[in-house]
C-alpha cells in the first residue's frame, strides 16, 4: 500500500498527488512513468512521473479526471492509500550534451514537460518553455516553469491568459527570430505534437515526442502500447515513451487512442453515479 502524502487540485479537472514510494523515488528520472492500481479490483493505468524527491521518498503524479479509474483516484484523500504503485518504467529523457532546448507542453502534458525542463535547467542547459492551454482556468504549474527556464511563453486558445494562439505559433516565432535549438521536446495532445513535429521538420530541428498510448502491463508483453516509428513497430512502455517525433506515425496513434473513448465515458458515468448513490 502507498500513502498519499499530499493532494492538491490544480484546476477543476487536474489533480496533483504526492505518493510515499521510496523505492520508486530512489531511481526515478524525468520522462519515466509509473503504473498504479487504486484498489484490488482496479485497472492498471500509466501516469508519468511529474516530480520526485529521493530524500523524502516521494513521487509526484498529476492526472486529469477523464475515466473511471482517475475518478476513483481523485476520490482518495491525503492520508489514504492506493493499492499498487510500480516503477520507474520506460526510458528516461536524454538530457546530455544539449546547450539550448525548447520544451513544448500542452494541457495536462505540461505535468510531464515540467520535470524535463527542470532537469535540463539544473544541468545548465538554456531552456525555453512554451506551454498551451484552452483558457486561463486550466493553466497549471506556471511558477514551476518560471523557475525552470530562462524564457516562458504561455499560450491560450481564447487569449484569456498569456498570448492568444497555438504553441506552434510561439515556437515558429522564436525560431524565426533567430533562436537556435539543439533539440525540441514536445509533450501533450497527439494532435499538438503532430503539428509541432511538422513545424520543426521544416527547420531541420531534432524533435523528441513523449507518447502515452494505451498501456496494460508496462513490460512490452501485451503489445497494447505499440506505435509505428520509422516504419517499425515500437512499444512505448519499453522502447519509449520518448521517440524521434519526425518518425512517428501520428495518424495511426490518434486512431488507436480513440478506440475506447465511448467505453471510458460510460464507465466514468457509472462510477460517478455509484459515488452519488453511496452519498445518499
Determine the pLDDT at residue 51: 92
CATH number for position 171? 3.40.50.80
Query: Whole-model pTM above 0.75?
Result: yes
What residues make up the domain containing 129?
91-201
Residue 280 domain flag: no
Determine the pLDDT at residue 260: 55
Residue 256 domain flag: yes
Residue 20 domain flag: yes
Three cell numbers written together for 4: 498519499
Determine the pLDDT at residue 106: 95
- Answer yes or no: are the C-beta atoms of 191 and 254 closer than 8 Å: yes
Mean pLDDT of the chain: 90
Residue 270 domain flag: no
Residue 275 domain flag: no
- Calculate what percentage of the chain has a pLDDT beyond 70: 92
Do residue 110 and residue 193 come from a single domain? yes
pLDDT digits over 109-157, tens only?
998 899 999 999 999 999 999 999 999 999 999 999 999 999 999 999 9
Among candidates 197, 209, 205, which has minimal Cα distance to 112? 209
Determine the pLDDT at residue 224: 78
CATH number for position 17? 2.40.30.10
Would you state the torsion angle of the CA atoms of residues 176, 178, 182, 188, taken in this order, to the nearest 10 degrees?
Answer: -40
Determine the pLDDT at residue 213: 72
pLDDT profile of the chain (280 residues), mean per 10: 94 93 95 92 89 95 89 94 93 92 94 93 96 95 94 96 96 97 96 97 96 75 86 91 95 81 55 56
Residue 231 domain flag: yes
Amino acid at each position: 500500500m502507498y500513502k498519499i502524502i499530499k493532494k492538491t487540485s490544480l484546476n477543476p479537472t487536474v489533480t496533483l498527488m504526492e505518493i510515499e514510494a521510496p523505492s520508486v523515488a530512489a531511481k526515478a528520472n524525468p520522462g519515466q512513468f509509473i503504473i498504479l492500481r487504486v484498489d484490488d479490483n482496479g485497472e492498471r493505468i500509466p501516469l508519468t512521473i511529474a516530480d520526485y524527491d529521493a530524500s523524502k521518498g516521494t513521487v509526484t503524479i498529476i492526472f486529469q479526471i477523464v475515466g473511471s479509474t482517475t475518478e476513483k483516484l481523485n476520490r482518495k484523500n491525503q492520508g489514504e492509500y492506493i493499492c499498487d504503485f510500480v516503477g520507474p518504467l520506460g526510458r528516461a529523457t536524454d538530457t546530455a550534451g544539449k546547450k539550448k532546448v525548447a520544451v513544448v507542453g500542452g494541457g495536462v502534458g505540461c505535468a510531464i514537460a515540467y520535470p524535463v525542463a527542470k532537469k535540463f535547467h539544473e544541468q545548465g542547459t538554456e531552456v525555453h518553455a512554451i506551454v498551451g492551454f484552452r483558457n486561463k482556468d486550466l493553466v497549471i504549474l506556471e511558477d514551476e516553469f518560471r523557475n525552470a527556464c530562462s524564457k516562458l511563453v504561455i499560450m491560450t486558445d481564447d487569449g484569456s491568459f498569456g498570448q492568444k494562439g497555438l504553441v506552434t505559433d510561439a515556437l515558429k516565432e522564436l525560431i524565426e527570430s533567430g533562436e537556435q535549438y539543439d533539440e525540441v521536446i514536445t509533450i501533450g495532445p497527439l494532435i499538438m505534437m503532430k503539428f509541432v513535429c511538422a513545424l520543426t521538420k521544416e527547420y531541420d530541428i531534432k524533435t523528441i515526442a513523449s507518447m502515452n498510448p494505451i498501456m496494460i502491463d508496462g513490460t512490452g508483453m501485451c503489445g497494447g502500447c505499440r506505435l509505428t516509428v520509422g516504419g517499425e513497430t515500437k512499444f512505448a512502455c519499453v522502447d519509449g515513451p520518448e521517440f524521434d517525433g519526425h518518425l512517428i506515425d501520428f495518424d495511426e496513434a490518434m486512431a488507436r487512442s480513440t478506440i475506447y473513448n465511448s467505453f471510458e465515458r460510460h464507465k466514468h458515468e457509472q462510477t460517478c453515479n455509484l459515488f452519488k448513490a453511496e452519498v445518499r
